[in-house]
Amino acid sequence: MRAAVDRRAVVACGGLAVAGLALAFLGLSHGAAWSTPGEVLAGLAGNDGSVVIREWRLPRVAAALVFGAALGLAGAVFQNLTRNPLGSPDVIGLDAGAYTGALVAITVLGGGAAALAAGSVAGGLLAAAVVYTLSLDAGLSGLRLVVNGIAVNAMLTALNSWIVLRADLDVAMAATGWSVGSLNGADWAEVRLPFAVIGGFALLLVALSRAMHQSALGDELAVTSGVRLARLRLLLVVAGVGCTATVTAVAGPIVFVALAAPQIGRRLARAGGVPLLPAALTGAVLLLGADLVAQLLLAPVALPVGVVTTAIGGLYLIWLLITEVRRR
């Protein structure tokens, strides 16, 4: 039985990886003029002397894959922690909190990339702390945490609009394009540091994943099998918020990937809990696909990718609610 489940997971992950590579190839071919596969390969190998593929298109495609994976991971972490498919960081206001932190870092402290990243992680952690404190007496699971998160999300979004309106014009212009989440204009200089940070958090999560799945079986069982729950939870929250906030600092709040990716990945892999690897792969495929749709839908106008993920993720959430209603 276990072998069968594992085979299913391996096949699902392999399929997702292939889909991701195929989309990446499509993304590399897409531009003002379509490139042939031969041109893309030559461009990747670097022997056609052109900067288009390696310097312009590759960073954006890589950013979509890595950020999508990071959002998928963050979603899986929080859905495991709250034991609720709706308890993902974008629904409960952590994206909005990270964005608030980033805005404060830019407008008040006037900082550079490092201040921006630190501000968004601090904002995300603060939002997480507020939401959890408000929901503590009802336990971490349950819809109540989600609705509290929606309330916090609404307030933070209002606060963000206010900060943007107060800001100088150039900051405000940049922040408005950024506020729906967009990968437009991603280049290597901008994404190198976030890639490294996300890689670090991903390694931390890999190290924690065994303990995380044990704790998902129930608190008592986890404690008896030697998991230190308080420390584990803290590390998981830090890693999850870190992934979300790093993406937010660069690309703005891209919502609903963290909500949908872990659940789709779980269904594809037919897993019991919310496994990390399928979530990360699904997130990468979803975000890259959404980014391609955003570029192609109204070409030559490139929509912010957040518009597309919002539409897809919202429909997915509705579908989730409908199937749950039917099951009762």
Which positions lie near another protein, rule CB under 8 A?
86, 91, 134, 138, 143-144, 146-148, 150-152, 154-155, 157-159, 161-162, 165-166, 180, 255-256, 297-298, 301, 303, 306-308, 310-311, 313-315, 317-318, 321-322, 324-325, 328
Q: What amino acid occupies position 87? A: G
For another protein, give the closer residue by CB, 28 or 145: 145
The answer to whether 204 and 235 have CB atoms below 8 angstroms apart is: yes
- Say whether the peptide bond before residue 300 is cis (omega within 30 degrees of 0): yes
Closer residue to another protein, CB minimum distance, 70 or 294:
294
Q: Which of 214/248 has CB closer to another protein?
A: 248
Of 41 and 293, which CB lies nearer to another protein in the complex structure? 293
d(C-alpha 273, C-alpha 312), whole Å:
23
Distance CA 266, CA 97 (A): 27
Shortest separation between residue 182's beta carbon and another protein, angstroms: 11
> Could you tell me the smallest distance in angstroms from the CB atom of residue 75 to another protein?
16
Q: How far is the CB of 107 from another protein (least distance, A)?
A: 13
The smaller minimum CB distance to another protein, of residues 54 and 144, is found at 144
Residue 53 CB, nearest distance to another protein (Å)?
Answer: 28
The distance of closest approach from Cβ of residue 254 to another protein in the complex, given in angstroms and rounded to an integer, is 12
Q: Which among 233, 191, 244, 205 has a CA at the least distance from the CA of 70?
A: 244
Contact 260, 315 (CB under 8 A): no
Torsion angle of the four alpha carbons 256, 281, 245, 187, in this order, in degrees rounded to the nearest 10 = -110
Q: Please list, in sequence order, all residues whose beta carbon lies within 8 angstroms of the beta carbon of residue 237, skipping any fewer than 6 positions away.
A: 77, 81, 125, 128
